[in-house]
Structure formats: structure tokens, C-alpha cells
Amino acid sequence: MTGMTVSRRTGAAAVALLAATLLAGCGNEGKGSPAWTVEPSGGSASPGATTAGTATPSATASSAPSAQPGTTASAWKVFTDPAKKVSFDLPQEWIAQSVEPDKGTLPGAVKVEVKDAEGTYLATLQTGLPEAAPAACAAASKKSYVVVSSVPVELPHSGGEGTISPHVVFRVIQGYRFFGSYGITNVVGGADSKACQLQNVVRGLEGQGNYSFSDVRSLKSFAPDEKVAPAKAFDTLDQAADYVNKGSEFANVQRMLMSLEIKN
């Protein structure tokens, strides 16, 4: 297994090379700053308030990652759930709202939905998730995928087979279009850069359950008659690269995900 990281600065030629890699399904390692990489195989509210949670302006908001793409918001605030189990930074105009945790989650689980100033959904933080075995997947059903951005983040987690250290990622899986999703994960996608689903889940510490902070908890290659949102869809890899490297939405989302803190 060899490592390969293609810098954004290599431009269109790098994207073309990555496209060839995607089609070939070659598995390599992607770590570090946002770049085209391939993963290891192996309702409304005021800006300063939320429902059942707190979001306060932060005069000393967490600094953005050193390799942050795009432009982030100028003003940020901090969300903390009522029980003070989780906290994260988000742009001042975004909305963070505590909601009822999913059925089957562990006692004390937290669920927070994040929307932009217009009320458009962006991400969900969910803790206390039970362990779930990966869905059965025939080799012929697996699709090629790449990691567009992968940045390590310090968070509590469990290791073991099929895991890496937690990373904030944006990954794209191939289908009739290129489907993309962002989140935090420490679960590898699949051997030879092929998978049926890519999990935006971190295996938590023993007794605390898993957790997810992402737009969708599991990314797959959608059928033409399926709803894709809130996952993203692109006609080309260049469009996916522009979303990550040039747009402000992903820059803000990435900074928010990177700021997550979970109390043990």
C-alpha cells in the first residue's frame, strides 16, 4: 500500500490524475491538510440562542486549521448542550438546536442539528450511537471513492481493526454522478478505495457509544430515483474540488467540525 497526496496547487492536471486513480480503485493513504487524497484501505432562532441549548458569541473562537481552504465567517459563537457534554464553534448567523435523540441511542445521548441563517440544514451531531455492523456488500456492488479532504482532529475514540485516528473528511463516491459528504470519522472506507457505504462515524470510548458529526451518517452511491440531499452531488471531480477548496460553506463546516469537544 503506497501513500499519495495530490496538492490543490497542482491544478487541473492533479484532478485528472486523481480521476484516473478513482477509476482504477487504487488504495492509498491520505492525511494532513485539505487536499485531493486517497484514504487508507485496511425553525429560526436568534444568533445568540438556540432551543434546549446555548450558543454564545465567542471573542476567542477556535482558530481555523492552518490549511483552511476558502473564507470563513468573520464572527463565531460557541454552542454547548444543556448538560455540557458537547461544545463546538459555529458562525454567528448559523442556528444550532438540540433535538430529541434517535431511538436506540444510549441514555444521556445528545443530538444537535445545525442550519445556516436561512434555515438550510447543514449537519447533525449525535452521540450515544450503538455499535452497528456494516451492511452486507457484494464485491460487485462496491463503488470507487476518493477522499477530497482529510484533516486529523483530537477527539476521544476507540481503536481496533478497520479504524484510524479521527479525521474531518470530505469524501466522494462514484455513481451516475459523484456523491459527496463531510463528517468526522475514524472508520476506514474499504479496501482498494472501493466501498458500498462510507461511514461518518467515530467509534467512541467503551460504554459511551459511537458519535457522528456530519451531513449524512453514511454516504452511498445513490440511484437516479433516490433523493440525494443533504449529501452533495457533482457532475465532475473538478466541481467537488471547487466545493472544498474555493467555497465558504465547506470552509465554515470544516472549522465547525474541527472545533468539536466531547466531555468524557
SS3 92: coil
The whole-number average pLDDT for the span 236-260 is: 96
CA distances from 149 to 30, 56, 227, 242 (A): 8, 29, 24, 12
Residues 6+ apart with CB under 8 A from 144: 22, 23, 24, 25, 173, 174, 193, 194
SS3 33: coil
In which band, very low, low, confident or very high, does the pLDDT at 53 lie, cut at 50, 70 and 90? Answer: low
State residue 10's pLDDT score: 38
CA nearest neighbour of 28 among 172, 146, 148, 167: 146
SS3 229: coil
CA nearest neighbour of 256 among 56, 77, 46: 77
State residue 149's pLDDT score: 96
Does residue 36 register a pLDDT over 60? no
Q: Residue 116 is placed in which grid cell? A: 445556516
**57-66, 120-129, 186-195: segment of lowest average pLDDT:** 57-66
Does residue 180 register a pLDDT over 50? yes
**11-15, 103-107, 111-115, 132-136: segment of lowest average pLDDT:** 11-15
State residue 136's pLDDT score: 77
Does residue 35 register a pLDDT over 80? no
**66-80, 148-162, 192-206: segment of lowest average pLDDT:** 66-80
CA distances from 187 to 69, 102, 178, 200, 218 (A): 24, 21, 21, 8, 11
pLDDT tens column, 55-101: 544 333 333 343 445 789 999 999 999 999 999 999 999 999 999 99
- What average pLDDT does the structure give for the chain? 80
